[in-house]
Structure formats: C-alpha cells, structure tokens
Structure 1
Amino acid sequence: MKKIKYICLLVFTISFAACDDRLEIDPPFAEDAESFFNTQEDYERALIGAYDLLQTSYLNNWIGEIASDNAIAGGESVNDSRGLHQIDEMTHGGVNDELRNVLRFNYAGITRVNYMFEFRDKIDFEGKDVLYAEAAFLRAYYYFQLVKYFGDIPLIVDRRLGIEEAVSIDRTPKEQVYAQIEADLQVASEVLEWTNSVKGRITKGAALALLGKVYLYQDKFTEAATTLDRVINEGPYSTITTTTSEEYTALFSVEQEGNLESVFEIQYTGVEGGSYGCLVCLEGNAALGFQGIRQYEGPIYGDGNSYNLPTEDLYNAFDPSDIRRDGTVLDIEAFIAEQENPADIKYVIGGGGHTGYYNNKYIKRLDELGAGDNDLTSPVNYRVIRYPDVLLMAAEAHNRKPSANDGLAQDYLNQVRNRVGLSAINVTGQALTEAIWEERRFELSGEGHRFFDLVRTGQASESIEGFQVGKNELFPIPQIEIDLVGGTWEQNPNYN
C-alpha cells in the first residue's frame, strides 16, 4: 500500500481516488499503515495530508450563499451542476452530487486526522503537542461542517473503521458531535500560540474563534461571549479602515492575505493545475473561476463560469453610501459604463440564470491568475473567519446571553461599522439583535455564511423562497450513504 494512501479511506465508501498526488512520494507498496509514523517527518506529512481537505471548502462558499437569499446558482444552464440549482430552488433531495461531496470530503479529512491519532503514542518528538493541537482543530472543523449541514452524523474518533463496521455504523446525536468539536477546539486553543511562523498553520486565535462560533450555533451565548472576548482582548487582530469600495475589496486579495483582520484562512496556490474531473485534487481555489464573468473580455477581471451570482435583493439591501455594497457586489453593467471604452467590453449571460451581479470578493482578476486552466488555479485564499465576524459574533453573544451586555455589544458592532465610515447604532434589546444580524449580511455576504446564519437565527423561512420549516434547516443525507449501511439510517425529516 502506498505511503499515506491509507489515510484517504472514507468512512463509508472505504476508498477515495482523489488523494493528492503530492503526498504519494514513495514507491507503491513501500510501507503499509502500521509501518508508518516512524519519524517526526512522517507525522508532519500526515498533518499536511489532513490540512489538504480544507481546500474543498469552496463548496461551503457556494452552498452557504446559493441556498440563501444572497445568490442564485447561475452557470451555463440549469443542468450544469444540477445539484447547485436544486439547492437554489430548495428542491434538493438525497441524490445530489454537491451534498455528497460535502459529506465525502469532510469525512476524508476526519479519517486522515483519526489515522494520526490512532498512532499518536508510537514515538515522541519535540513539538508533538502542537502538531496534535492543529490536528484536533482540523477534526473539529470538518465535523462542524458536517453537523451544520446534516445534523446527526456518525462520530468516529482516534481510529479507523474496518469494512464491517463502516457499513453498520449508526448516526450519532448532534449534541455528542458538538461535544467532541468543543473538546478538540479546547485542546487546540490551550496548546497553540497566537501566531505561527509557517503561513497557513492553525493558531490559538483560529481555535478560539471557531469555538466561539460553535457555541453560538448551539445558542450557548455566555460561553460564546467569554471565548470570543479572548480573541478580541488577547489576540493580535484589529480592524482595518477602508474608505472606498476598492480598498474594501482589496482585503480579499492575494496581496492582503494574512492581514490584521484575518483569523483563519485556507491556503491556495496558483502554481499547480488540475481538472474539472477532480476538483478535490486542486491546489487552487476553484470558487473564483466558477464565479467569474462568462466569456468576459475587458479590464480588471478574468473570464469565468458565472456561478453563485448575487441577487438584486442583496444589492438593494445595502445603503448606497455603504462602500461594502460595491466592494462585495459587482454590478457588471454599471462597471462597464464607467470604463474608457465600454463598447469594447464583452461578456455572455449563462443559461443558468443571470442577475447582473457578481461576487466581487471572490472573482477572477487579471492580476491574480494561476497557471494552466486559471478557472481552477486561483491563488486567492478563502477567509473562513475574519475579525469583523468575530466582533459580530461576540456582539450577538453579549446581546443574547441571559445577563445581556448591550453596551459592549454595541461597541463591537460599531467597530465593524466605523471602519467603513458608517454611523454608530445605539439601539438595545431585540432591535440590537436584529441590527447585528443585518450587519452580518452586509459584512459577510459572498463568504458562505448567510444560509447558516438564517437557519440558526430562525429567519430562513421569511427570507428564502421555497424554504420549508421542519425540513430545510438540514440538508438530506446522501441516499447512497444510506444504502451503503443497508438502509438502517432514517433520512432527515421530510425528505423523501
């Protein structure tokens, strides 16, 4: 068996052909699983393999927007990436390629981490506690993705599954999954430092911020407030003042990766190509090429595939004076009209839907193109958690906890607003809650959070056309996974 190949085993389907070629550095059959982990280098390489599945988070960037009122699926036609169109229309069911990929990719990451934990005690070396703290964070992140999509899911910790167990395992109540996520993040936050000299490695701030988010998703507002306050008061982060939409958009550029507002970024590189047949194999960020302007010819932007198109509802929700509107949403016709030679600029409308708007945070630009097929090799990092998100989560937690501190909640909210030149908000109680929720939409649009924010705050049915209460709070378990365990799992409520 190839070295590291074993870590690509999936929980249910047992084999996964999409392992990164760069991990397979030894001859076939050189080592099996039990003869690995003999050196510190082996552990480091296994950790890199566990990090690798983070790059599939482009799916969260898509689905978290397309399932909400922020965006439509778009694309070449309604049959192009049909799974995204079903999610957009709220007609998705158990047969959906995108949702199956969410489950498979995240469990692949978990399997890689569990493989490491199974052999944790084989040897000792300096820095091992830090390495395993990073691994614990990764497992927590992958499980958090799964539980927020699917609810109850099988919980496997510190071990691999045999074939017989893999086809008979039960779903675990989400409360137990959340408890494991919390435990892993608590370990990570205790061990890790606030900074890491290696770009892209997990830090204490990332662990605490994700832990605070996990608490918030469970309505544990006191715990969320305490945890997020640590990020604000002890961490190295601060807001960045921007005075134009261009300056705001630049916060998401390659040039500003790791800036003072960046708490947790997923790393991408534009130097290695890939193919549409294996998006999990990519080292570049697929989102930007997919979200680019179809057959575009003109300045600043590169051409793309016109997916994940912001809605008019989102654009109109912004105050026109808010620089984040044009920093977040590109009005293509307005942009063309402003150019020197507008008649020379061309683009094509896709048959999958058109709004006239594009995701200006994550869109292909001519000065950020990757190698080869640059639809698939964008070097732009995905900002999973930014400091403004931390401030808004902390604001919500302080506002909604039993002993509410609306004064501090206002301060956190207004730090986000003031840095983009907006006036302070001074309301309290439920009005403040709603102001914070609204601000999350303005600040975080295009980043994959909107659908899950609407669900956890009970606003989804009034905001998302076709959303059914008691059903669409969760996505359906992929039917093929139910079949693989002999049909013993119940599908999530009200999915056929």
Structure 2
Amino acid sequence: MKFINKKLRSLLVFPAILLLTGSCADSFLDQPALGSLNEGVVSNEVGIDKLLISAYAALDGQEDADNALGGGGPWQAAPDNWVYGSVAGGVASKGSFGGDQPAIDQIVKFNSNPSNGYYNTKWKAVYEGVKRCNNVLRQLANDETISDSDRKDIAGQARFLRGHYYFELKKMWNMVPWIDENTEDPKQPNTEDIWPNIEDDFKFAYENLPETQSEFGRANKWAAAAYLGKSYLFQHKYTEAKDIFTTVISSGVNSGGTKYDLVPLFKDNFDAATENNAETVFDIQMVANDGTGTIANSNQGGKLNFPYGNSPFRCCGFYQPTQDLVNSYKTDEVTGLPNLDDYNTEPVKSDMGILSPEPFTPYTGPLDPRLDWTVGRRGLPYHDWGYHPGAEWIREQTYGGPYSPKKNIYYQATADQYSDQSSWAPGTAINVHVIRFADVLLMAAEAEAQAGSLDQAMAYVNRVRNRAANPEGFLKDYIDSSNPLAGFDESKDAANYNIAPYTLAQFSTKENALKAIYFERKLELAMEGHRFFDLVRWGIAEETLNAYFEYQGEITTDVRGGRFFSGIHEYYPIPQAQIDLSLDASGQPTLKQNPGYF
C-alpha cells in the first residue's frame, strides 16, 4: 500500500529528472545541475507520473535535506515538524543533553537568528517539493496525448502537493516568494501574501481530483477539501471553513474509498500495522527495509527520537514530552473533564531524580487514557517492550525531563517488518500524519464555535473524546513475567483512566467552547507537530509559551531563558543564506527579512 516509497526506487536511474532546466527555486538552491536529460523522456504519461512520484517523495524532506542539497542533519527538515511545531510549542523538550544539537535550543527559546542552519535546511527541502510539483505541471502542459481525466488527476495531485508545500512555508515564514510552473525568474520577492495562491491550488485539487485513487498514498478530492478548510481556518475565514468541513465530514472518503471516521482505538493511528485506515485523510507514507540500505524512507527526520541508554532503540534520547503536557491529561475524578485553567497545579508525579534501581510508585490520580499512548512514563508498559524503567532510558533528566515519546515508536512484535536498522539510529514505517480525521473534527468544531453552532462544536469534540473513552483502547499490560523489565506492578493503579464528554454547561459561551476546543487539540494531537502553529493562529502564543517557560523552567534546564515576543516570534526568520542568494541585477536582495530579525 505504501506505493510512493516503493515506486521511488524506480526513479533512482533518472537522477536528473528532478533537476530539469528552468525548475523553480534554483536561485535558492545555488547548486549546479547534476546531469541532463532529454525532456522527451518525461513528456509522456509514464514519465510524468515518475515526476509526480518524485513530488510525493519530497514530502519527507530527507533525501534532499541530507544529501542532494548539502544540508544538515535530516531532522532539520523533518516532515512532522517536531522541532518547529512540537518542541517550539511546549509539548516536548528537545531532549538528549544541552551540547547535542544546540541550534534547537535557540529555536525553542526564540533567541535564534537568521543564520541558524536549521531554517535554511527546512527552506530548501520544502522548496524542493515546490520545484518538483512545478516540473510535473510544466511537462504536463507539453503533452497532448494524455486524456482529460488523467490530466485533471495528475494536475490535481501536483497542485495539492504544491499547496501543501506552500502551506508549510506560509506557516513557518509567512511572507515567502510564490514560484509556479510559469515563473521565469526564480528570484521573486516575498512581498505578496500567498494565501490566495494556496487556496487556488487546493480548490483546483478539490474540483479535479477523483474521490478514490488506485494507490492509497495519493491525494484524493476529500484530502484537498480538508486542506482547503484548514487554509480557511488559518486565515480566520470561519464560515468558509465551517461549510467545507461539514461537507468533508458528511461525504468524505479516504483514497481507498472508505468513509472518513474515527477508528475505534486511538492507538491504531500510530501503528504501521493498522494505519492507512478510515481516519487517514492524508499521510506521508513511510516504509521500512526498502532495499536501499538506508532509512531515507523510514522517517529519517525522526531518527533521533527514541529512548536512549539501556533501551532497545540505541539512539538518541531526543523529543521528550514535557511535564506541562503530561499534566494536561489529568481529569476530574467526578466529571472526567480536563482542568483547562490550572492543570499544572498538583502535577502528575514523575520519577524525576530517581534512579531506575530505586523504588518508585507512579501517579494514581485520574487521567485521560490518551496520555499513555502519547507519553512513555516509568512504571507503565512501553508498548510491548516492557515497563518503561525510567532514568536508564533517559539521557539527562535534569535537562529534558523523565519522559519518552511514544506515538513514533514501533512495536517489538513487528519490529522486523516495521522498523529499519540500516542506520546508526532506527527508522520506522509509521506514517507521518499531515491531516487525520480527528484533526478535521476539531478544526470543524473550532469553525462552528467561531461562526456556527456551539451545540455542533461540542458534538464534534465529544466524538473525539468518546473514542478516547473506549475501554478497549486503554493501555494493555503486554508484559510477560519473564521480561527482565517487569516488576513495576503498580501500573494497574497508575492506569487510572477517567474521561467523559463535555456538557452544554462547558459550551455555554463561545469563549468557553473555544477554550475547550483548543485544549482538546493539545490532548489529541500532542507530539504530531501542530501545537506552535495552533498557538500562533489563535493569537495566544505569547501568554501560553511564556507561562510554559516559567513553569517548565523550574523543572528542566533546557528552556530556561526562553521568551516569546508578539509581533516577532509568530514566524521564524527568513534564512540569511536565502537572502544572500536572492540578489538582483543591482546587487540588492529580493527577499526581505521578517520583522524583528537582523
């Protein structure tokens, strides 16, 4: 089913396909062509489909970030935005220790400058995707043999992907240059708002893509509709967003033709054996053991993000959930609802400062069951790998805290099939979710609260909460008594789950409804790269992140000194390397830096 990464192997014999003369963003890449290829080879349906597959292949940002573009580590352009969305959003610490990848510390404390290499790697990787989409559209225009239906499908997929890449650029940097298949001079200024262009791409895709695809990983019309709704939401076009989300929820199907729905078990969205399901709107397809001898197609951008030390994963101790996030999953013993305002009061007990051989009794208060599919904490089963032993799996507790990530972790029982050990750190076949149906429901709830019905907004949120309350999806005890990590029998008390739907009392006003919706997105989508961008579009990044710095900084050293300033830090700095490459004939840069950066 994971067609993209498998078919990508067939492109390796055509390295120059991806570097056609006149492709966009060459000025940003500043590298010579690696070869030449007669355009007649790709000016037919088979060749154009190979170009389209290469446009999908750029979704992971890895081949080019790590190799062809001469960039930094693959994690700098990770497609799940774990640095820019989750760590910078306060749901995860960088992890590891202070001397490892220190450029991340600057990013998450909002004291980095435009010369930070992470920004340049991400910029190049995403514009590489734009370039490949434009290659498809340019070659498609030159071919008169393709049928109208196939032409619409190919163009729709290319424009969907281009819309995605520009959406990434927009939410990262705001003012970026628009370069399409008709652009002759790639040194375009970044003075025009590109939201209308992004909308046009998703509208075209929605109107021209089929409902289903022959291969699951390809975008269909409903993925385009959902992304169009997301584009409206980011622009605060709530009525437009509400209308299209209503259509997606009522009529949408995934690329395989299955009607969109929440899968019964929350955890099944984070297991390669059960993904590409009814909840899949659009995923970046990952595959393990593809025969390349690398983990380039196995979420290489997340290779650092596994437990460290005496763990079965070898490397590298990054991407640790924060205490602030863990506390968010506390629920009221009576109502089963979260504490939206004072969740950091009476925090969930952790094993901070306690060595693994020393006794520890986990927290036994009521919790949202999604916590233990999102966060690895001591005394609870870490999937089927045994009980999380605490400190011996953590690189430096005082720096990154006591927790481990979990949504990106493959299972021991299927590790041979869904993990890839071809590199010094693991790869995984677990897909990266760009949009899943729970995300659509919560975006629709937000649009309803802003421009529609509070009752309908509550219904959407409760649909997500009711799935989380399914007892069949609660954490199971996978541990065999012979497992050397067994022995923390308090896990049954620690897995004290109590979650319930909201009532009209909590959704009585727009303000209260939005507060609940915002918090639900934090709980449901934690560690999936959304949080920072959500905080920015809601206009609450400054108050939320500065409160986070104050609270978390008392626990771990990694975020001490962090400070978010409104009017500056909503967007990252335009990479200085790209400004330097954008000089026009008069020697002046066509790219302008974002406000507040020098």
Q: Match of 2:169, SS?
A: helix
Cα distance 1:343–1:252, how it changes in 2: closer, same or farther (>3 A)? Answer: closer
Cα distance 1:356–1:111, how it changes in 2: closer, same or farther (>3 A)? Answer: same
1:4 corresponds in structure 2 to 17
Q: Letter of the aligned partner of 2:17 in structure 1?
A: I
Instruction: Work out whether residues 442 and 521 of structure 2, in 8 Å CA contact, stay in contact via their aligned partners in 1.
Output: yes
* 1:451 positional shift: 0.3
Q: Match of 1:184, SS?
A: helix
2:235 corresponds in structure 1 to 218
2:462 corresponds in structure 1 to 414
Instruction: Work out whether residues 59 and 98 of structure 1, in 8 Å CA contact, stay in contact via their aligned partners in 2.
Output: no
43-52 or 82-91, larger mean C-alpha shift: 82-91
CA distance in 2, matches of 1:398, 1:339: 42
2:189 corresponds, among 146, 170, 181, to 170
Does residue 444 (structure 1) correspond to residue 525 (structure 2)? The answer is yes
1:131 corresponds in structure 2 to 154
CA distance in 2, matches of 1:445, 1:50: 28
Instruction: Work out whether residues 29 and 124 of structure 2, in 8 Å CA contact, stay in contact via their aligned partners in 1.
Output: no
Q: Match of 1:72, SS?
A: strand
Q: Match of 1:125, SS?
A: coil
1:471 corresponds, among 568, 578, 582, to 568
Does residue 52 (structure 1) correspond to residue 69 (structure 2)? The answer is no
Instruction: Work out whether residues 189 and 592 of structure 2, in 8 Å CA contact, stay in contact via their aligned partners in 1.
Output: no
Instruction: Work out whether residues 50 and 112 of structure 1, in 8 Å CA contact, stay in contact via their aligned partners in 2.
Output: yes
CA distance in 1, matches of 2:438, 2:42: 40
Cα distance 1:491–1:460, how it changes in 2: closer, same or farther (>3 A)? Answer: same
Where does 1:247-266 land on structure 2 (aligned, <5 Å)? 248-266=266-284
CA distance in 2, matches of 1:204, 1:37: 26
CA distance in 2, matches of 1:101, 1:55: 13
Instruction: Work out whether residues 289 and 303 of structure 1, in 8 Å CA contact, stay in contact via their aligned partners in 2.
Output: no
Where does 1:321-340 land on structure 2 (aligned, <5 Å)? 321-332=367-378, 334-335=380-381
2:328 corresponds in structure 1 to 317
Give CA-to-partner distance per residue, 1:308-339, whole Å, 9 cap, x none. Answer: 21100000111243110111111145558x99
CA distance in 2, matches of 1:390, 1:492: 30
1:148 corresponds in structure 2 to 171
Unaligned runs of 5+ in 1: 20-27, 243-247
Does residue 207 (structure 1) correspond to residue 224 (structure 2)? The answer is yes
Cα distance 1:274–1:295, how it changes in 2: closer, same or farther (>3 A)? Answer: farther
1:294 corresponds in structure 2 to 308
Instruction: Work out whether residues 18 and 54 of structure 2, in 8 Å CA contact, stay in contact via their aligned partners in 1.
Output: no
1:245 corresponds in structure 2 to none
Q: Letter of the aligned partner of 1:326 in structure 2?
A: D
CA distance in 1, matches of 2:377, 2:301: 19
Instruction: Work out whether residues 37 and 122 of structure 1, in 8 Å CA contact, stay in contact via their aligned partners in 2.
Output: no
326-335 or 309-318, larger mean C-alpha shift: 326-335
Give CA-to-partner distance per residue, 1:119-159, whole Å, 9 cap, x none. Answer: 32222313121011000000000000001110111111113
2:45 corresponds, among 40, 50, 56, to 40
Cα distance 1:275–1:295, how it changes in 2: closer, same or farther (>3 A)? Answer: farther
Does residue 70 (structure 1) correspond to residue 84 (structure 2)? The answer is no
Cα distance 1:223–1:100, how it changes in 2: closer, same or farther (>3 A)? Answer: same
CA distance in 2, matches of 1:219, 1:324: 29
Q: Letter of the aligned partner of 2:190 in structure 1?
A: R
Q: Match of 1:209, SS?
A: helix
Superposition TM-score, scaled by structure 1 size: 0.87
2:182 corresponds, among 135, 159, 164, to 159
* 1:95 positional shift: 1.2
2:514 corresponds in structure 1 to 433
CA distance in 1, matches of 2:535, 2:564: 11
2:442 corresponds, among 388, 392, 404, to 392
CA distance in 2, matches of 1:186, 1:52: 23
1:25 corresponds in structure 2 to none
Compare CA radii of gyration and give the structure with the larger one.
Answer: 2
Instruction: Work out whether residues 280 and 435 of structure 2, in 8 Å CA contact, stay in contact via their aligned partners in 1.
Output: yes
Cα distance 1:351–1:342, how it changes in 2: closer, same or farther (>3 A)? Answer: closer
CA distance in 2, matches of 1:114, 1:339: 45
Does residue 97 (structure 1) correspond to residue 145 (structure 2)? The answer is no
Q: Match of 2:428, SS?
A: coil
CA distance in 1, matches of 2:225, 2:101: 35
Q: Letter of the aligned partner of 1:482 in structure 2?
A: I
1:285 corresponds, among 280, 299, 302, to 299
CA distance in 2, matches of 1:374, 1:391: 39
Instruction: Work out whether residues 295 and 346 of structure 1, in 8 Å CA contact, stay in contact via their aligned partners in 2.
Output: yes
1:492 corresponds in structure 2 to 594
Cα distance 1:467–1:344, how it changes in 2: closer, same or farther (>3 A)? Answer: closer
Does residue 197 (structure 1) correspond to residue 226 (structure 2)? The answer is no
Q: Match of 2:103, SS?
A: helix
* 1:13 positional shift: 3.2
Instruction: Work out whether residues 50 and 109 of structure 1, in 8 Å CA contact, stay in contact via their aligned partners in 2.
Output: yes
Instruction: Work out whether residues 273 and 371 of structure 1, in 8 Å CA contact, stay in contact via their aligned partners in 2.
Output: no
CA distance in 1, matches of 2:434, 2:121: 19
Instruction: Work out whether residues 287 and 429 of structure 2, in 8 Å CA contact, stay in contact via their aligned partners in 1.
Output: yes
Cα distance 1:406–1:116, how it changes in 2: closer, same or farther (>3 A)? Answer: same
CA distance in 2, matches of 1:67, 1:219: 23
Cα distance 1:2–1:434, how it changes in 2: closer, same or farther (>3 A)? Answer: closer
Q: Match of 2:468, SS?
A: coil
Cα distance 1:268–1:259, how it changes in 2: closer, same or farther (>3 A)? Answer: same
Q: Letter of the aligned partner of 2:373 in structure 1?
A: G
CA distance in 2, matches of 1:185, 1:439: 27
* 1:79 positional shift: 3.7
CA distance in 1, matches of 2:170, 2:87: 19
* 1:211 positional shift: 0.8
Give CA-to-partner distance per residue, 1:241-283, whole Å, 9 cap, x none. Answer: 33xxxxx33321101111111111101111247899xxxx911
Instruction: Work out whether residues 399 and 406 of structure 1, in 8 Å CA contact, stay in contact via their aligned partners in 2.
Output: yes
Cα distance 1:36–1:321, how it changes in 2: closer, same or farther (>3 A)? Answer: same
Where does 1:297-308 land on structure 2 (aligned, <5 Å)? 297=311, 302-308=313-319
Give CA-to-partner distance per residue, 1:147-204, whole Å, 9 cap, x none. Answer: 111011111111365xxx34x4211422xx1111111111111122333230211112
Q: Match of 1:353, SS?
A: helix
Cα distance 1:271–1:222, how it changes in 2: closer, same or farther (>3 A)? Answer: same
Q: Match of 1:309, SS?
A: strand
150-159 or 325-334, larger mean C-alpha shift: 325-334
CA distance in 2, matches of 1:199, 1:414: 29
2:100 corresponds, among 80, 83, 88, to 80
Cα distance 1:35–1:104, how it changes in 2: closer, same or farther (>3 A)? Answer: same
1:22 corresponds in structure 2 to none
Q: Match of 1:264, SS?
A: strand
CA distance in 2, matches of 1:179, 1:205: 20
* 1:445 positional shift: 0.2
Cα distance 1:2–1:309, how it changes in 2: closer, same or farther (>3 A)? Answer: closer
CA distance in 2, matches of 1:346, 1:289: 19
Cα distance 1:305–1:350, how it changes in 2: closer, same or farther (>3 A)? Answer: farther
More helix, by proportion: 1
CA distance in 2, matches of 1:180, 1:292: 38
Superposition TM-score, scaled by structure 2 size: 0.72
Q: Match of 1:194, SS?
A: coil
Unaligned runs of 5+ in 2: 1-13, 62-77, 253-258, 331-365, 470-498, 547-562, 584-588
Q: Letter of the aligned partner of 2:139 in structure 1?
A: F
